[in-house]
Amino acid sequence: MNFYDELETRSQAEREAAWMAALPTQIAHAQSNSSAFASILKGIDASQVNSRAALAALPVTRKHELLERQEASRAANPNQASVFGGFNTQAFGAAMPRVFASPGPIYEPEGKQKDYWRMARAIYAAGFRSSELIHNCFSYHFVPAGSMMESGAHAVGCTVFPGGTGQTEQQVQAIQHLQPSGYIGTPSFLKIIVEKALELGQPLPKSFNKAMLGGEAFPPSLRDWLLTRGIAGYQCYATADLGLIAYETEAREGLVLDEGVILEIVRPGTGDPVPEGEVGEVVVTSLNPDYPLIRFGTGDLSAVLVGNCPTGRTNTRIKGWMGRADQTTKMRGMFVHPGQIDTVAKRFPEIKRARMIVSGEMANDQMLLKVEVAGEHTNSQDGLAERIGITVREVTKLRAHIELCSVGSLPNDGKVIEDARSYQ
């Protein structure tokens, strides 16, 4: 079978209907069983959150807010199990076999469901099949990556060697002795292992011919480098909070979304969905009942790819990781946030898109706000630029030059604030 399960080839209409049917139940569950979402979604009628529009009206919870709530919860209850900031629905015990810590620290619970992080789909798409051995070089300590991949591999039916990180010569030795079917880990460490094997004059076995990669960028140059050495590598996009979000297929045209998440692309600093194809922040609603993150802002930039995957998978595709959405910039002692630029733009229906460019040298910097407006406004004879400039000062407490641009002239890279200053 070319697909992990039949969910991957159902019609988009069928998939969307299933998601929207599940969404009210998940919202109600989060409100009733998660103290954090009882507060965040207070006053929301869960039964009415059954459409994309209704979902888009809910607040976005960003990663820094997750950390802040966890820190506040620990400070208020230092002797209690309040490490998750109220976002979890399960307590310590049999329902939560493990707890992990990501930089911050942000603590993440692991539930007892099979393939809790939903990684099996990505591992299968990378070519791994039942009865194969996988060499897993993600960390098993503190962060969930090692356990995340191992549980997914077990769901596929694979045996796992927990290689972890470091000890490169021993990694080479274990691969030669065990002859696994492939590797799971970061692409850079796989390159180090391959180079170490060549340095030792001990080439890796021919069985070691595929890899499922994550945790960092996987450029085409490294993909091709691995291919020339007999290893076909595929990447996935996952986070410690959400598990799998999207994965690469043999078509190598973007990343296909996982079946267990609802994804939106929003304008950075806001919760407003952008048009299909426009770069924005990845916001995900998880259907995981143990950790029901609703409109969770990952802080990552991406964009939707139009059309279906050539492999026959019908879920939405995204372009992959395209940078970070948090573009907060300090200027003249004041922080300027993407949300402030959005506030300015929303006060003028003439503005289609806006981009603040901070330039010059530190301590002698300048702000230029470029705004896309329809042709009849670009000559500024109606005083639009002056009115926008006044609003910028009201919102940010800083002065900015205003440049009116034609619609479609600004880059489609997700940037609301561009820091073009010289730091030398």
Cβ burial of 87 (10 Å; 0-12, 13-18, 19+) is: buried
For residues 101-130, average pLDDT: 94
CA distance 206 to 196: 16
* pLDDT value, residue 315: 98
- Residue 61 clears pLDDT 90, i.e. is over it: yes
Mean pLDDT is highest, among 88-102, 317-331, 350-364, for 88-102
pTM here is 0.84
329-419 topology per CATH? GMP Synthetase; Chain A, domain 3 (3.30.300)
Q: Could you give the C-alpha distances from 149 to 114, 115, 191, 273, in angstroms and in order?
A: 12, 9, 19, 31
pLDDT of residue 127: 97
CA distances from 391 to 339, 343, 344, 367 (A): 14, 9, 6, 14
* CA pair distance 222, 225, nearest whole angstrom: 5
pLDDT of amino acid 424:
46
Q: How confident is the model at residue 331 (pLDDT cuts 50, 70, 90)?
A: confident
Task: Give residue 102's pLDDT.
Answer: 86
* Spatial separation of the C-alpha atoms in residues 321 and 218, rounded to whole Å: 10
* Residues in CB range of 79: below 8 A, 6 or more apart: none
Q: Helices 220-227 and 187-199 meet at what angle, rounded to 10? A: 40
